[in-house]
Amino acid sequence: MKRMLWKFHGGLHLPGHKTLSNQTPIQAAPLPDFLVFPLRQHIGETAVPVVKVGDKVLKGQVIAKAKGYVSVPVHASSSGTVVAIEARPVPHPSGMFADCIVMQTDGADQWIDLNPVIDYPTLSQSALRNKLREAGIVGLGGAGFPTFIKVNPGSQLPIETLVINGAECEPYITCDDLLMRERSKGIISGIEILQHLVQAKEVLIAIEDNKPEAIRMMQQAASNNTLIRVVPIPTVYPTGGEKQLIRVLTGKEIPSKKLPADIGVICVNPGTAYAIHRAIHHGEPLISRIVTLTGRALTNPGNLETLIGTPVKDLITSAGGETEQIDRLLMGGPMMGIALNTDNIPVIKTTNCLLAAAPDELSTPSTAQPCIRCGDCARACPADLLPQQLYWFARSEEMQQAESYHLFDCIECGCCEAVCPSQIPLVQYYRFAKSDILEAERERLQADKARLRHEAREARVIRLENEHQAKLAEKKARLAKARTSDDSKKDEIAAAIARVKAKKSNQETEP
């Protein structure tokens, strides 16, 4: 029976440009001479190196351990020698540098001893989650949230529905499509592990209807599991947004500032499910991923199985990219990707696509005109926000107002910007406002912490002073008491002497 589907507000029908990269099977990217591993590749704390320069490491070996709860380790993706631990450019819109472990590969690509889990249902839930953590698994479709935390919503939040987000709605990107076509059995095997972990009552694999081959392969692979259902969904951007997809599949809205788990849903990318399968059944940590190389500036676009840490420059070269033909280089798609100002950065766990655009391929930003309050942006917004209001507030730095208009529900999909006749770079304003608010919040928390520390210190000083004074008073009282008792003793002695003297004189006068 066909499943009922819902619609979300707004969204756009965009040219897909998918055939540029989805016509050839996944190929293995060449082994690079050097691999660069940023110590922070996901939301959460930066990992701590456990190797030093000169160390020989094997493929799959932990080279940086997790620090704190929201953190996972980093593994070497090939064998070789650590040649540096230093700040290098990392994938970030600001072009920032961050600490990285750099290794020179030895060409042997030699694995450590792998320890697959023989019978995962016999493990406790927490032991199984820990295996995912040890394997360094994070969400491969979004910001890279550690998966072992995502699959642990707590006993108060029973999970009704596990959603596998195979929508891949952003133009140009085809890595999930190819993965679902070619490795559907492995994905289903990972989904079964996830289902066992979260005990969901149903599993829905959502795939946009512009990927018929992926739908067919996933249906075939899931045919023996009655809990799992493949659901073709209409191709509308951004159906792959977590909130939008859950709305389409279940009709449920996730309230502002809440998570899918709060309404009994967990959403996972097919690439993450596949990585879970490799980790549990083969003992392999997350050391590679499929990256779409696309754009008209490449002569051999396609999807490459790429080692984490591979320099973007090497990948672009292997896809036939000539630097002089590349007008713009993006990590991600044209709507939500980040513009790179260098190719001297590595592929990280969340790198799904590298888009090398030729001149005239992507619309170039032109001079913004004043807002004419046409309302097109509000009609296109899939989060049902008022983008023009958010723009005014961000522009005039009225951040509290922006927050009260649900700025943080903005998924930065770019729909508003794409339809804006005044060509205002709206998303830039939202990003700026969000980072400004978060920074102010961080400063406030730090100031609060400092104030609490200061108050605690003051209280300690006062307490010690009071204790000191109390001790002094006690000592004084003791001395005074001792003095009083000395005086009364003296009186007693004097009285005794007087008594003796009186007795003596009485004796002398008696005949």
The CB-of-419 to ligand SF4 minimum distance in angstroms stands at 6
Q: Which helix (H) or strand (E) segment is 237 a member of?
A: none
In the bound state with ligand SF4, the residue whose beta carbon lies nearer, of 90 and 394, is 394
Shortest Å, Cβ 335 to ligand SF4: 9
Nearest CB to ligand SF4, comparing residues 158 and 421: 421
**Residue with Cβ nearer ligand SF4 (37 or 430):** 430
Report in angstroms how near the CB of residue 393 gets to ligand SF4 at its nearest: 12
CB of 338 to ligand SF4, least distance (A): 14
Integer-rounded Cα Rg, in Å, for the chain is: 34
Q: How far apart are the first and last CA of the chain?
A: 141
Shortest distance (Å) from residue 44 CB to ligand SF4: 24
Residue 238: asked if its preceding bond is cis (omega within 30°), the reply is yes
Q: How far is the CB of 397 from ligand SF4 (least distance, A)?
A: 17
Measured from the CB atom, the residue of 148 and 430 that comes closer to ligand SF4 is: 430
**String of DSSP letters for 370-416:** ------HHHHH-TT---HHHHHHHHHTT-HHHHHHTTGGG-----HH
DSSP state of 153: -
For residue 177, the SS3 value is helix
For residues 276-289, b (16+ Cβ closer than 10 Å) or e, as one string? bbbbbbebbbbbbb
Count other C-beta atoms under 10 Å from residue 104's C-beta.
15
Q: Is 353 or 416 the residue whose CB approaches ligand SF4 more closely?
A: 416
The two tokens of residue 31 are: 């082994």
Residue with smaller CB distance to ligand SF4, 161 or 244: 244
SS (H, E, C) 298-356: ECCCEEEEEECCCEHHHHHHHCCECHHHCCEEEECCCCCCEEECCCCCECCCCCCEEEE
Task: Give the C-alpha separation, 387 to 125, whole Å.
Answer: 43
Q: Which is nearer to ligand SF4, 8 or 37 (CB)?
A: 8
Q: How near is the Cβ of 398 to ligand SF4 at its closest, in Å?
A: 16
Could you list the residues that contact ligand SF4 (CB under 6 A)?
Answer: 371-377, 380-383, 385, 387-388, 391, 410-416, 420-422, 424, 426-427, 430
Contact 338, 348 (CB under 8 A): no
Question: Least distance in Å: CB of 414 to ligand SF4?
Answer: 5
In the bound state with ligand SF4, the residue whose beta carbon lies nearer, of 107 and 421, is: 421
74 contact partners, CB below 8 Å, separation of at least 6: 37, 39, 41, 47, 62, 63, 64, 101, 136
